A and B are shown apart, each in its own frame.
Chain A
Amino acid sequence: NAGVTQTPKFRILKIGQSMTLQCAQDMNHNYMYWYRQDPGMGLKLIYYSVGAGITDKGEVPNGYNVSRSTTEDFPLRLELAAPSQTSVYFCASSRVVDEQYFGPGTRLTVT
């Protein structure tokens, strides 16, 4: 099992550009999550999904969109990137109420 995979590992965007962060898991987990971690801070939940076709906002959803067309994939879309979105992004998955398994992260810089 690869667990939770994320691509790309690093990305530099110009202000106003858009991109999609990819996340996939092969553990057949129902729940998937996107977090961002700013320097010296904890992880903040952006969006989450309890199953294919179902998504909901977390604590900091503004500027992001998600979709969940399959159990395995949970891409995060950034439209009109802003410097405030410079962060490390982590995707995670879990069965139900259980510990979450995290991907290695995507480091995004918006300049």
Chain B
Amino acid sequence: DQQVKQNSPSLSVQEGRISILNCDYTNSMFDYFLWYKKYPAEGPTFLISISSIKDKNEDGRFTVFLNKSAKHLSLHIVPSQPGDSAVYFCAASAPAAGNKLTFGGGTRVLVKP
């Protein structure tokens, strides 16, 4: 039973355009959400997070939106750059689970120059 799903395994976007990555979750106890970026042969690196008390968090070119009623979050990258080509993982945690993260399956983003 996948509690965090990223239904698009891959995404191709032109440099300078917007990348939109989506993530759905089923566990209503999740209250903290994170996005990680992963390059080949490296460990994931933290990108941006959002608490369930907010519906938007912005950091430079990266914005995460949270829709709690739909149990959906999205990551917007504007403008997309070739260096953004990577696999992006959505993750969620619940207070009862300590700091354990549940990860989605990832979305591979390719930014074309």
| Chain A positions near chain B (C-beta within 8 angstroms) | 4, 31, 33, 35, 40-45, 48, 50, 58, 90, 92, 94, 96-105
Q: Is the CB of B104 within 8 A of A99?
A: no
Contact B32 A42 (CB under 8 A): no
Contact A58 B100 (CB under 8 A): yes
User: Would A42 and B103 be within 8 Å (CB), given that A101-B46, A103-B43 are in contact?
Assistant: yes
Q: Which residues of B contact A (CB under 8 A)?
A: 4, 6, 9, 32, 34, 36, 41-46, 49, 89, 93, 95, 98-106
Specify the chain B residue showing the minimal Cβ separation from A42: B103
Q: Are B44 and A90 in contact (CB under 8 A)?
A: yes
Knowing A31-B99, A94-B99 touch, does A43 contact B32 (C-beta < 8 A)? no
For the complex with contacts A45-B102, A97-B95, 14 further pairs of A-B residues with Cβ separation under 8 Å are A35-B103, A42-B4, A42-B6, A43-B103, A44-B103, A58-B100, A94-B99, A96-B99, A97-B32, A97-B93, A98-B99, A99-B49, A101-B46, A102-B45
Report the bound CA distance from A111 to B9 in whole Å: 28
Name the contact of A105 in the complex, choosing from B43, B104, B105 (C-beta under 8 A): B43
**Residue in contact with B101 in the complex, picked from A45, A96, A101, CB distance below 8 Å:** A45
Residues of B within 8 A of A96 (CB): 99
**Whole-angstrom distance between the Cβ of B33 and the nearest chain A Cβ:** 11
Closest chain A residue, CB of each to CB of B98: A50
Contacting residues, chain B, for A100 (C-beta < 8 A): 46, 99, 101
CB distance from A47 to the nearest CB of B (A): 11
Q: Can you spell out 15 A-B residue pairs with CB atoms less than 8 angstroms apart?
A: A4-B43, A31-B99, A41-B106, A42-B89, A42-B103, A43-B89, A48-B98, A48-B100, A50-B98, A92-B43, A96-B99, A97-B93, A99-B46, A100-B99, A105-B41
* 3 tightest A-B CB contacts, nearest first: A102-B43, A42-B103, A99-B46
